[in-house]
Amino acid sequence: MTLGSVVGNALRQNLAAPLYHAAREQVAMARYARRANSPALSLGRRAWLWRRGFVPSADGLYDFETHSVDAYLSTRQHVRTREINGHWRHLVENKLAGHWLLSPFEAERQPVHGVVIDGRAFPADRVATEDGVEMTTPRVANATPATEFVADRIDEEGEIVLKPVFGGRGEGIDFASREDDSYRLNDELVTDREFRRRMSDLDGYLVAGFVEQAKYADALYPDATNTVRVLTVHEDGEAFVAASIHRIGTAESAPADNCSQGGLTAAIDLETGRLSEATTIDPTERPWFASHPESDARIEGTTVPGWDRIRKRVTAIAADLPYLPYLGWDLVVTGEETFRVLELNNLVGVESLQVHGPLLADARVRRFYERHGVC
């Protein structure tokens, strides 16, 4: 044990613990501030925001003139939400564990064929052995070179998705398919030799099935998978949807739709499933679009097909996971009332949600955060 860890443990276990946690929050906020673009602000305005728990980029994202600053979940409070699920959060932060967590809901989860560890691929789910025993964890005997495993999946399905077991913000995800004698990784065409070299270098990746989106989502922007983000919480003895948005890809974000990479966000009316105008989370320039600026497809007023059933089904699954009272669901609507969950999120980004309105304006949502020591 290092001296630093000894000191850290001592701080957490004595009266200095509040100072230790406050320092951690400040460090986390500083990281958010460095990562985000910021509008031109005076030092006084920056200090005003920081004292209230916001990084400077919030001034360009949130409407502090219409809504009280206290109605928004601040950056500091957002950092605290990571601890809401306690140790159970590790099930969600590990995408393979999250896949297993949803095993009772096979019809609603994205197919995952395998996990790649140090260039070797293992089945992701239960596999039958010669003695008839089913294993839920990868075994060396089941290993296949990642180059062969991934190539075989592409030949069988046409397109697959490679995504890191850990991480977020859409980083490190590759959509892989074959094109004649070569392979396509996102927008890059690579030779067979280069493809196999990259696959052999993979470590800590899931090999997942590509999920075909519904026609309405494809019409919004066909060059990206346009996903729905749903935030569920447990309060007053039941699970409910606190907020939801539809993410829509652009040329900048494609083939993904992540707002942090230039995608758009449109609010979903929780009762009707209708989309609002869409915007970005770039605080320096945030235009609003009734129609997609590139595809020209209508966004505002578009309705997610079967939204009522989708919302109720997600809520029902969330209720079946009471040890995870705070979850962000990324899902693809595949048809009328049907969807597939791509992944679960523990630390749910709130900028793309709150750009449409403050979370804490809902009294029930505020009570939830207060009960968990976030506010």
Q: What is the pLDDT of residue 40?
A: 77
Rounded CA-CA distance 350/51 in Å is 19
Query: Residue 231 half-sphere exposure, CB side, CA atoms within 13 Å?
Result: 20
How many domains does the chain divide into?
2
Tell whether 131 and 105 lie within a shared domain: no
Tell whether 336 and 252 lie within a shared domain: yes
pLDDT digits (tens, 9 = 90+) for 186-200: 888 999 999 999 999
Distances (CA, A) of 231 to 23, 219, 277, 331: 28, 25, 19, 11
pLDDT digits (tens, 9 = 90+) for 62-111: 999 999 999 999 999 999 999 999 999 999 999 999 999 999 999 999 99
Q: What is the pLDDT of residue 100?
A: 94
Q: Among 49, 57, 45, 55, which residue's Cα sits nearest to residue 285?
A: 57
Tell whether 181 and 321 lie within a shared domain: no
Rounded CA-CA distance 155/179 in Å is 11
Q: What is the pLDDT of residue 372?
A: 96
The encoded tokens of residue 328 equal 């962000």
Rounded CA-CA distance 186/190 in Å is 10
What is the domain extent for residue 115?
Answer: 111-209
The encoded tokens of residue 71 equal 């109605």
Q: What is the pLDDT of residue 172?
A: 83
Residue at 13 is within a domain: no
Q: What is the pLDDT of residue 121?
A: 94
According to DSSP, the residues that pair with 248 across neighbouring strands are: 264
Mean residue pLDDT of the chain comes to 89
Q: What is the pLDDT of residue 371?
A: 95
All residue ranges of the chain with pLDDT < 50 are none
Q: What is the pLDDT of residue 236?
A: 79
pTM: 0.87
Distances (CA, A) of 104 to 119, 138, 251: 29, 19, 36
CATH of the domain at 29: 3.30.470.20
Tell whether 102 and 36 lie within a shared domain: yes
Residue at 6 is within a domain: no
Final residue belonging to a domain, choices 186, 209, 232: 209
Tell whether 144 and 40 lie within a shared domain: no
Tell whether 234 and 292 lie within a shared domain: yes
Tell whether 96 and 118 lie within a shared domain: no
